[in-house]
Structure 1
């Protein structure tokens, strides 16, 4: 590894599974001190221990990122361990795949809380320290579903559209204070989250067969490919990339 995040403190929400885990591991390998924030029921504690055993500086802070008090405590825990956070990856997210008329107000509230409110809460908690440290990078995990309407996913698409504009608006407001904010937009991914989405959509009659995915994006994306894209946005290599939407979808949205 080339130490592209040497001297940086990174916080990854949803950092104990899927692409979040891949990012936590890669950021640590690239020299960052990493705070993994995930649910108490996640593997976060075990993962952090394993990464420390491998020689990295990693802590786990359990939190439901849709809860303001838990977010504040988690961010404070990471800052106490490592100092101000200079890389934030707002990755935590959930799915809601069902016919729109079958969705409920509870479905809406939960997906907006985890996918959108969490970004507001975590970013607001992290920004004061990031500004005091002289700047930093925020990466928000969006999706192709922010710009491509997908059947049975009206709520999910709406939440990712909000992610798109959150990342862009933060970039505009804080550009002149040393903050970069960008969104990364994956296609279908070979994670438990992604495979569950494919399985659910298939049960509702959406064509997400292997052949259909191959036609749309060639193959399933690997979590480490999303982590590598996030590393670029987090690192100084992307020093003039701000307010951008980086699509990691192998031309899905270009067809």
Structure 2
């Protein structure tokens, strides 16, 4: 999903810094942006590591000057019975899904404030809005992202910062399809056929990118602190 968002941003004229723990993936995304005539700069960084985040932020500010948009996409999933979840599982999910957003946001918000404001889009999930068996810790981390979103929005709205969250359902990415396979291993069918009754079709990365782009844009200038389900009405249906 991060790649689709980066490409869409670049299409709209943004210079994009691509931060990923997977350096090869970051470079591939930046190359795709460049091949389409845009500006994409890859940064290999572990967003849970203080030193690496500080170094990446310094490089970004040096390369781009002013940062107006931040998309917090780092995330992973755990499909596991709650009673079997270990402290290491808990710590890993909290670090990747929550700490990463805290770390990079805390470092860039003062910069945004000093430069007239900005827009932050957080990656949450429909798992923050309803319960899913085997995803208690994952859902908890995504609910934490929603709490972080609304509190940043309220604290910084008078200083020109907007912060909103997107909440995709099942998305056709390697990560999303892998999640479906993990459910299947536990006897739970979230195949594309089974998803028809919930979201009619599987969500595409471009569906998510379009909503993220809108929230980041001036067209959404009066939206702040919202969490938008990208699920074709699944949460509304109940």
Q: How many residues matched? A: 237
| 1:3 corresponds to | none
- 1:130, CA displacement in angstroms? 0.7
Whole-Å separation in 2 of the counterparts to 1:46 and 1:223: 17
- When structure 1 is superposed on structure 2, of 197-206 and 221-230 the one drifting more is 197-206
Q: Pick the aligned partner of 1:202 from 173, 180, 184.
A: 184
| 2:88 corresponds to | 106
- 1:85, CA displacement in angstroms? 1.2
| 1:80 corresponds to | 62
- 1:46, CA displacement in angstroms? 2.9
Q: Pick the aligned partner of 1:241 from 219, 223, 226.
A: 223
- Deviation above 4 Å: which 4+ runs of structure 1? none
| 1:156 corresponds to | 138
Whole-Å separation in 1 of the counterparts to 2:81 and 2:66: 43
1:1-255 mapped onto 2 (5 Å cutoff) = 19-255=1-237
- 1:54, CA displacement in angstroms? 2.9
1:43 is paired with a residue whose SS is helix
Whole-Å separation in 1 of the counterparts to 2:226 and 2:85: 31
| Unpaired stretches in structure 1, ≥5 consecutive residues | 1-18
Q: TM-score, normalised by structure 2?
A: 0.97
- 1:52, CA displacement in angstroms? 2.2
Whole-Å separation in 2 of the counterparts to 1:130 and 1:231: 18
| Unpaired stretches in structure 2, ≥5 consecutive residues | none
Whole-Å separation in 1 of the counterparts to 2:65 and 2:101: 20
